[in-house]
Amino acid sequence: MSNPLNIAIAGLGTVGVGTVQVLQKHAREIAVRCGREINITAVSSRDKSKDRGVDLSGFAWFDDPVEMAKTAKADVVVELIGGSTGVALDVTMASIAAGRHVVTANKALVAEAGENIARAAEDAGVTLAYEAAVAGGIPIIKAIREGLAGNRVSRVIGILNGTCNYILSTMEETGRDFDSVLKDAQDLGFAEADPSFDIDGVDAAHKLAILASLAFGTRLGFKQVHIEGLRDITALDFVYAKELGYRIKLLGLAGQTDAGVYQRVYPCLIDQEGPLAAVDGSFNAVIAEGDFVGRSVYEGRGAGAGPTASAVVADLIDIAAGRLSLAFGVPAARLADLKAIPIKDRAGPFYIRLTVIDQPGVFADISSAFGHANISMESILQRDHDEAGNAHIVIVTHSITEGALRLALKGLEDHTAVVEAPHVIRIEDVWGE
Residue numbers annotated as active site: 207
Position among 255, 302, 348, 422 found at the interface with ligand HSE (CB under 6 A): 302
Say how far residue 347 (Cα) sits from the centre of its chain. 23
Size, binding site for ligand HSE by CB under 6 A: 7
DSSP string, 307-375: HHHHHHHHHHHHHHTT----TTSS-GGGSBP--BPPGGG-EE-EEEEEEEE--TTHHHHHHHHHHHTTP
Determine, following the binding rule CB under 6 A, whether residue 167 of this chain makes contact with ligand HSE.
no
Determine, following the binding rule CB under 6 A, whether residue 218 of this chain makes contact with ligand HSE.
no
User: Which segment (66-74, 138-146, 159-167, 228-236) binds ligand HSE by CB under 6 A?
Assistant: 159-167
Position among 37, 79, 198, 299 found at the interface with ligand HSE (CB under 6 A): 198
Determine, following the binding rule CB under 6 A, whether residue 195 of this chain makes contact with ligand HSE.
no
DSSP string, 266-304: EEEEEETTSTTTT--TTEEEEEEEETTTEEEEEEEE-SS
Determine, following the binding rule CB under 6 A, whether residue 289 of this chain makes contact with ligand HSE.
no
Phi, psi of 349 (to 5 degrees): -75, 155
Position among 92, 163, 169, 170 found at the interface with ligand HSE (CB under 6 A): 163
User: Which segment (161-169, 273-281, 309-317, 420-428) binds ligand HSE by CB under 6 A?
Assistant: 161-169
Question: Residue 15 or residue 396: which is nearer to ligand HSE going by CB?
Answer: 15
Position among 44, 161, 213, 397 found at the interface with ligand HSE (CB under 6 A): 161
Determine, following the binding rule CB under 6 A, whether residue 303 of this chain makes contact with ligand HSE.
yes
d(CA 162, CA 384) in angstroms, rounded, equals 34
- Least distance in Å: CB of 138 to ligand HSE? 11
Question: Residue 266 or residue 350: which is nearer to ligand HSE going by CB?
Answer: 266
Determine, following the binding rule CB under 6 A, whether residue 203 of this chain makes contact with ligand HSE.
yes
Phi, psi of 252 (to 5 degrees): -105, 130
Task: Tell me the β-bridge partners of 377.
Answer: 397
SS3 417: coil
Which helix (H) or strand (E) segment is 396 a member of? Answer: strand 390-397
C-alpha dist (Å) from residue 162 to 64, 180, 431:
31, 17, 21
Question: Residue 1 or residue 188: which is nearer to ligand HSE going by CB?
Answer: 188
Determine, following the binding rule CB under 6 A, whether residue 162 of this chain makes contact with ligand HSE.
yes
Q: Please list, in sequence order, all residues whose beta carbon lies within 8 angstroms of the beta carbon of residue 271, skipping any fewer than 6 positions away.
A: 245, 246, 277, 429, 430, 431
Which residues contact ligand HSE (rule: CB under 6 A)? 161-163, 198, 203, 302-303
